[in-house]
Amino acid sequence: MINITLPDGSVREYDKGITSMQIALSISEGLARNVLAAEVNGEVWDASRPIEQDSTVKLLTWNDAKGKSTYWHSSAHLMAEALEALYPGTKFGIGPAIETGFYYDVDFGDIQFSSDDFKKIEDKMIELAKTKSDYIRKPVSKVDAIEYFTEKGDEYKLDLIKDLADGAITLYSQGNFTDLCRGPHIPNTGHIKAVKLMSMGGAYWRGDESRKQLTRIYGVTFPKASELADYVHLIEEAKKRDHRKLGKELELFAFSEKVGMGLPLWLPKGAALRERLTRFMQNAQVKAGYEQVITPHIGHKNLYITSGHYEKYGADSFQPIKTPQEGEEFLLKPMNCPHHCEIYKTKPRSYKDLPVRFAEFGTVYRYEQSGELHGLTRVRGFTQDDAHLFCRPDQVKDEFKKVIDLVLYTFGALGFDNYTAQISLRDPDNKAKYIGSDETWALAEAAIIEAAEEKGLPTVVEYGEAAFYGPKLDFMVKDALGRKWQLGTIQVDYNLPERFELEYTGSDNQKHRPVMIHRAPFGSLERFVAVLIEHCAGNFPLWLSPEQFTILPISEKYEDYAKKLSDELKNSDICGLIDFRDEKIGRKIRDAEVKKIPYMLIVGEKEAAEGLVSVRRHGVGDLGSMSIEDFKQQIIKEITV
């Protein structure tokens, strides 16, 4: 008999050679129907693989990330089976699962293939899935594996086998298809109920441009047709909300090849939006005891040698700028922390002075490969809402709580109400790889956990995910489409205070090292605005909206009245423009709707004569006519909510 420990800590006895599927069956038939694979001693296995010794077992279903990934990888095998049936002689490269779905790199030889053929393949996959063929694992010798794929004539698999050790090679078969694969897979193809091939493209074999280009086909599968329908809807909605598309339509930002890739240009409306976010954060920070500082965009190379950035990232960064006379080297600032450490050192600090909190909207530059650049989410120059807190070890918990308050206040004002906090701690089995004493780490880790608990945050704890220089807390936000974004990081740092020899005088009159905390609720303004655009589909909260109203005169006769209204609203800090174009009112309304301007104020003869405005709210419709005073009050009420 062997002992099997389950995730709830319970231990059950089974015969040696029991499979995870049999364990599931012994618990409930319903569970067994949903088991896709199992994690055995931390490794994902086929549910049909015999377990020979005492083990911890976690059964994996569609609800587990590892279960999904096994499912999607198995779907790649199913697609290969369909391709082989429809296009005999097709050769196969690799077919992994990806974040959502899977791909397979294939060589069609002389066959012409296009996305018009997707439907045929999808149908074949469903037909094959219905046979409920088991995925059968077969360990083989290297010689036998080579013989099999030589006979089949698949040079890509032979190329892969070359690098494998004899004794560690397995083949998997389902239906009429056999693949070289280390597994694991789901029990049978019957779990796959809905299929969609998403796109295709070229991919060099083994990522090597000198080798053959294969066809990469992306697909996604689901255990229910309704889940596929939801997914397709999500993709369409995401396309509509793409910040690159809306950024252009709403005239927020642009890119210019002449200026340089990955360097966003903020247009007037985007700059207005960004200004408001900045002011919002500055006001909140002043209330929370932060002091604003300003540092230059470049720093001497020695600064980054001291901080360790040069050694770690220097080769992959923008290269140093040299002064023409002295040949001194400067780097574009990749982060603000080293500058802030030098600000800390400008005067002696006592334990009574701490904490000090330096905040800066610091623009930093990081080299990203051109292929990695993406709208505002991956850029080469961006502005962080950065701050560094320098405190005593006994102040870490309080500082964390205050930063959590600030982050939650920000999320609340911007409509992000679905979040979890991920706490990243040391790997308890490998403490040597972290800098700082065991004692300070234990203190900081406990402080973060307690702070999160006292603030009632929903948390997940990840061991081994801390940086080598300190534990951290990250906020993971779900947007309106259920997509996850990491926003807001609070990071403890024992490394920089050491490297910059930061000190304070303690109550014992001795010198001590302060603890440094990095934090940025938005992260970068660029990325935050991108997430915000996609979250609210460009319908910003009124207080943030760069153009809160547009006045639409029915004809030029009412322009003077429109100007008078506009001035009056501007005097109350409500901003907007007048549409002076010689267009029909219907056209003006439609254009304002496209620009997602919150309020449209229509003025004609009646309004001008009686001192009224006819109000339309974007996404709502006609609100009727009201006095300008009532309209002002309505806006002020909405902004302050």
In whole angstroms, how close is the CB of 43 to Zn ion at the nearest point? Answer: 15
366 has catalytic annotation: yes
Q: Annotation-wise, does 337 bind a ligand?
A: yes
- The conformation of residue 134, written as its DSSP 8-state character, comes to B
Smallest separation, CB 290 to Zn ion (Å) = 14
Question: What's at 625, amino acid-wise?
Answer: S
* Contact map string, positions 9 to 48, toward Zn ion, x by CB under 5 A: ----------------------------------------
- Residue 62 or 580: the one with the smaller Cβ distance to Zn ion is 62
Candidate segments 146-154, 332-340, 376-384, 461-469, binder of Zn ion by CB under 5 A: 332-340
Binding residue for Zn ion, selected from 121, 171, 337, 533, defined by CB under 5 A: 337
CA angle, corner 565, sides to 562 and 567, nearest 5?
Answer: 110
> Between 91 and 518, whose beta carbon lies closer to Zn ion?
518
Question: At 235, which helix (H) or strand (E)?
Answer: helix 225-241
Distance of alpha carbon 603 from alpha carbon 618, whole angstroms: 17
216, 513, 518, 519: which one binds Zn ion (CB under 5 A)? 518
Does the active-site annotation cover 575? Answer: no
Measured from the CB atom, the residue of 72 and 631 that comes closer to Zn ion is 72
Contact between residue 396 and residue 443 where contact means Cβ atoms under 8 Å apart: yes
Smaller CB separation from Zn ion, 144 or 583 = 144
Nearer Cβ to Zn ion (66/617): 66
CB of 520 to Zn ion, least distance (A): 8
Closest to Zn ion by CB, 171 vs 200, is 171
3-state SS, residue 567: helix
Q: Which stretch binds Zn ion (CB under 5 A): 138-146, 174-182, 315-323, 482-490?
A: 174-182
Could you tell me which of 604, 520, 609 has the C-alpha nearest to residue 556? Answer: 604
Specify whether 385 is catalytic.
no
Catalytic residue among 157, 216, 380, 388: 388
Number of separate helices (H) and strands (E) present in the chain? 20, 34
Listed ranges 175-183, 460-468, 469-477, 538-546: which one lies at the site for Zn ion (CB under 5 A): 175-183
Q: Binders of Zn ion among 224-283, rule CB under 5 A?
A: none
Please check whether residue 299 is in contact with residue 330, taking contact to mean a CB–CB distance below 8 angstroms.
yes
Q: Which of 46, 134, 154, 386 is catalytic?
A: 386
Nearest approach, Cβ of residue 228 and Zn ion (Å): 22
Smallest distance, Zn ion to C-beta of residue 150, A: 20
Give the closest residue to 185 by CA, choosing from 157, 151, 221, 213: 221
Which listed residue (337, 341, 391, 536) is catalytic? 337
Whether 337 is catalytic is: yes
User: Which lies closer to Zn ion via its Cβ, residue 18 or residue 181?
Assistant: 181
b vs e for 160-186, b when ≥16 Cβ sit within 10 Å of the residue's Cβ? bbeeeeeeebbbbbbbebbbbbebbbb
For tokens 């600064």, name the residue: 303
Residue 419: both structure tokens together: 């979040």
Q: Indicate which residue of 174, 285, 384, 548 is catalytic.
A: 384
> Cα–Cα distance between 465 and 15 in angstroms, integer?
37
Please give the C-alpha separations between residue 606 and each of 553, 564, 583, in angstroms, as whole numbers.
12, 16, 19
Separation between Cα atoms, residue 536 and residue 273, nearest integer Å: 14
CB of 337 to Zn ion, least distance (A): 3
* CB atoms closer than 10 angstroms to residue 637: 9
H, E, C per residue of 281-336: HHHHHHHCCCEECCCCCEEEHHHHHHHCHHHHHHHHCCCCEECCCCCCEEEECCCC
Of 55-63, 176-184, 402-410, 542-550, which part binds Zn ion (CB under 5 A)? 176-184
The size of the interface with Zn ion (CB under 5 A), counted in residues, is 3
Give 18 or 517: the residue with its C-beta nearer to Zn ion: 517
388 is catalytic: yes
Q: Does the footprint of Zn ion cover residue 602 (CB under 5 A)?
A: no
Nearer to Zn ion among residue 337 and residue 425 (C-beta): 337
- Is 384 a known active-site residue? yes
- The least CB distance from residue 180 to Zn ion, in Å, is 8
Is residue 580 classed as helix, strand or coil in its secondary structure? Answer: coil
Closer Cβ to Zn ion, 377 or 495, answer by number: 495
What is the closest distance, in whole angstroms, from the C-beta atom of residue 280 to Zn ion in the complex?
21
Whether residue 388 is annotated as binding a ligand: the answer is yes
- Cα end-to-end distance, the chain, whole Å: 65
Q: What are phi and psi of 350, to 5 degrees?
A: -110, 165
Give Dmax over CA atoms of the chain in angstroms: 94
Q: Which of 251, 188, 194 is nearest to 221 (CA)?
A: 194
Of 173-181, 292-300, 391-399, 629-637, which segment contacts Zn ion by CB under 5 A? 173-181
Q: CB of 73: closest distance to Zn ion in angstroms?
A: 5
Is residue 241 annotated as a catalytic residue, yes or no? no
Residue pointed to by tokens 């009245």: 561
Subset of 178-207 contacting Zn ion (CB under 5 A): 181
Among 12-20, 53-61, 511-519, 609-617, which window interacts with Zn ion (CB under 5 A)?
Answer: 511-519
**Alpha helix locations (H) across 20-174?**
20-27, 29-34, 65-86, 118-129, 142-152, 155-162
- Which of 472, 513, 535, 588 is flagged as catalytic? 472
- Burial tier of 401 (Cβ tally within 10 Å: 0-12, 13-18, 19+): middle
Segment interacting with Zn ion (CB under 5 A) among 177-185, 186-194, 220-228, 376-384: 177-185
The least distance separating Zn ion from the CB of residue 135, rounded to whole angstroms, comes to: 8
Helix %, strand %, coil % of the chain (to 5): 40, 30, 35
- Give Cβ neighbours of residue 234 (< 8 Å, ≥ 6 apart): 481, 482
3-state SS, 451-502, equals HHHHCCCCEEEEECCCECCECEEEEEEECCCCCEEEEEEEEEECHHHHHCCC
Show binding-site residues.
337, 388, 518
Q: Which residues are catalytic?
A: 337, 366, 384, 386, 388, 472, 518
Tell me which residues touch Zn ion (CB under 5 A): 181, 337, 518
Q: Binding site residues for Zn(2+), as ranges?
A: 337, 388, 518
